[in-house]
Structure formats: structure tokens, C-alpha cells
Amino acid sequence: MVADHPSGFADSSEHHDFRNSVAEFAAAEVAPYAADWDRDHHFPLDLITKMGALGLFGLGVPEEYGGAGDFTSLCIAIEELGRVDQSVGITLEAAVGLGIGPIATYGSDDQRERWLPDLIAGRALAGFGLTEPEAGSDAGATRTRARLDGDAWVIDGSKQFITNSGTKITSVVTVTARTGTRDDDRAEISAICVPAGIEGLTVEPAYRKLGWHASDTHPLTLRGVRVPADHLLGERGRGFSQFLATLDDGRVAIAALALGCIRACRDLARDHAMDRTTFGKPIGSRQGIAFQLADLDVLAETSRLAVYSAAAMKDGGAPGTDAGRKAYRRAAAIAKLHATEAAVTATRVAAQVFGGYGFVEEYPIARFYRDAKILEIGEGTSEVQRLLIARGMGLPVE
């Protein structure tokens, strides 16, 4: 399998070659098994090892920590995997963006040395515990609490929808918790690394999800979890700003996953329209079908531009200044909003082109249809993205 479009604004030969290598990997190691994994709700641990050998978990991670490749490369990998199987794409996105990213960016030398080597090699996975039953987009409503008791944090609370938190190789989950009250009476939110298997941490049964059946997702319960004080990630009270920056990157990566979904739907629908005949002609010769396919192509191209313009800002160092951070946050929100809503539209249009076959599980369109909806919800709903964009325009919206 060869890439059918450039990797983005900077269409370097390195990006082009890398895209082709990931596309070939996805065709050989993912595509033949994706339907079975989805049907059986099977998390493919063996694939994680192969992805690690390909270097996918080190993408976007600084070289001094064992990583290689820029953020654009990570988006390319997520897109190409997501074009074959969205579950595998989100596994990579969450493993790097939510699992490795916070530790690499905010962790101490000891934390990086302890967890990053295995995470980057694909020998382990990490989760990011932000969402709670009453706190998702409203992170200030976090109810999980952590108190210092001597030289340890004692954590009590619950988290939900935590990806990569219950696999056999999960090594750590970073959780956000209230660690006090700020001078303005708002909650002080900090992030703490919680090792997997520690006493008091319960990984609850996996969710029965509409889609992403081959992705690992669990609620977590923490009851008197005691971790050393040096497991605090970054500065105390900076957890809120840390997770905002983490989500900016995550939104671009989710948009890349959505782009993979759009491209898959466009290509599958196009091929079906060329093969399926009615009244002696391919249905693709009918304007009603051809125009829908043209719309899918527009969705793919506009989403590509949004994703890789934002990725280029990240790689160009835009988040390093206040003005750049605001511009990048807006670009990330635009990419996430446009690409994810476009993905939901693309699956609906593609299913319509397939007719009755689009409603049959033996065809991948049905799987993409189920997988797409969560893209509009995870890492910030469409409503949150519109809020961020409006604020970026200078509107005093609350």
C-alpha cells in the first residue's frame, strides 16, 4: 500500500517515505485482522510489540528520551493506521499523546528513566486519568483528591473512559486530583503518576462500547492509593495547565485519526461505486453518487489541510510563546472540530453509497460508522471546540 496524498504542508521525502512504511505495515499487520479484532473485542497485544519495533511509540518524543520523529510524523502514523482500523489508531494516539507525552514533557529525570524506555519500546502502555463521572470538559469539577501523608500522596476517587488503562502491559496511569485550594478559592489540580497494580487501584470491567471494540477502555477506582511524593508530575497545582497543553496536541492527533476514517470511507465508497452496476452502468456514473463522492474528497482534503497546518505549528515551536500557544490552541480546535464532524458525515455518506451492504458487518463501512461518533466527543466535544474557537476570535463567551 502506498500513500495517495502528501503528508502535509512540509511534504518532505522523509515524511513521504515514512507514510509509505506505515501504510505498508497497516496493510500487512492490521488490515487482515481488524474485522476479527472488532468482532471479538480483542486487544492485539502482539501488534503493540510490532508497533514498538517500528518506532511508532517514540514519535514526537524528544531524542534525549529515546524518541524520534516530529509531531507531524505521529499524525501521519495515526492517520495511516486509522485508515485501516480506528481502534489501532486510537491506541497509538492515547499511548503517545496521553500516556508518554505528559511524562516526557513534565516528568522528572527519575520518572522519565523509570517509565519512558518501556513505553517508547512498546513493552508497556500508559494511560491518562482526567475524566470523571462529574468532570470531563469541566476539569475544575474534579472530585478525585490527593493528600500528602508524610512522604506519600494518598489518592481517593474515580476516573472513567481511560484508554490503555487495563491491558496486561499497562505500567502507569497519570491521574489528575485536587491537592488543595488556590488563593482564589478554586481547586488546586495536580497530576500524579500511579503505577499499575498498586494497592487500592481497581481497574473496573471494560466498557461495552458502540465502537473502538479493539481498544482498551476502563473506569478506574482509587481507594487509599498510596504513592511516593516524588510521583507528582511537574509542579504541584499545575495539573490543569498541563492537561490543557496535552489536550491541544491530542486534538490534532484525534483530527488525524478522523482524517484516516474519512479517507477510508472515500476510497471504499469510490471503489464500490466503480464496481456496483445498475441498469448496465456503474453507480459511480450517476450524478447523485458522483457528487456524494466528490463531497467526500472535499472533506478529506480540507481535513488534511487543517490537521497538518496545526501539526506544522506544533513542530515550528508555536506553543513556546503566549501568542503562539493561543494560535495553536485555536488551530487544534479547528482541526478537531472540522475533521471529526467530517468523519461522521463521511461514514453516513459512504454507508448510503453502499446501500444495504453498508448496514452489514462483513463490510468495513459498518465498523467505521460505529467508530466515528466518539471522534466528536473524546478529547473535547464539538461544543468545547466551538467555545475555544469563539474565544480565539476574541468573543467573551463563557
- Could you tell me if 126 and 172 are in contact, meaning their C-beta atoms sit under 8 angstroms apart? yes
pLDDT of residue 11: 64
pLDDT in tens, the chain (398 residues): 545 555 445 568 899 999 999 999 999 999 999 999 999 999 999 999 999 999 999 999 999 999 998 999 999 999 999 999 999 999 999 999 999 999 999 999 999 999 999 999 999 999 999 999 887 767 678 999 999 999 999 999 999 999 999 999 999 999 999 999 988 888 999 999 999 999 999 999 999 999 999 999 999 999 999 999 999 999 999 998 898 899 999 999 999 999 999 999 999 999 999 999 999 999 999 999 999 999 999 999 999 999 999 999 999 999 999 999 999 999 999 999 999 999 999 999 999 999 999 999 999 999 999 999 999 999 999 999 999 999 999 999 98
Residues known to be catalytic: 379
Give Cβ neighbours of residue 171 (< 8 Å, ≥ 6 apart): 115, 118, 119, 124, 125, 126, 195, 196
pLDDT of residue 7: 46
Cell 528513566 -> residue: 113
Alpha helices in the chain (DSSP H): 13-29, 34-40, 45-53, 71-82, 86-93, 101-106, 109-121, 239-275, 287-315, 322-354, 364-372, 382-392
All structural domains of the chain, each given as residue ranges with its CATH number in brackets, are 13-125 (1.10.540.10), 126-237 (2.40.110.10), 240-392 (1.20.140.10)
CA distance 383 to 136: 13
CA distance 168 to 162: 15
Q: Which of 69, 52, 86 has its CA nearest to residue 18?
A: 69
Give Cβ neighbours of residue 292 (< 8 Å, ≥ 6 apart): 269, 349, 352, 353
- Could you tell me if 158 and 111 are in contact, meaning their C-beta atoms sit under 8 angstroms apart? no
- Could you tell me if 73 and 218 are in contact, meaning their C-beta atoms sit under 8 angstroms apart? no
User: What single letter denotes the amino acid at residue 196?
Assistant: A
Query: Beta partners for 170?
Result: 125
pLDDT of residue 158: 97
Give Cβ neighbours of residue 241 (< 8 Å, ≥ 6 apart): none
Query: Beta partners for 153?
Result: 148, 227
pLDDT of residue 175: 96
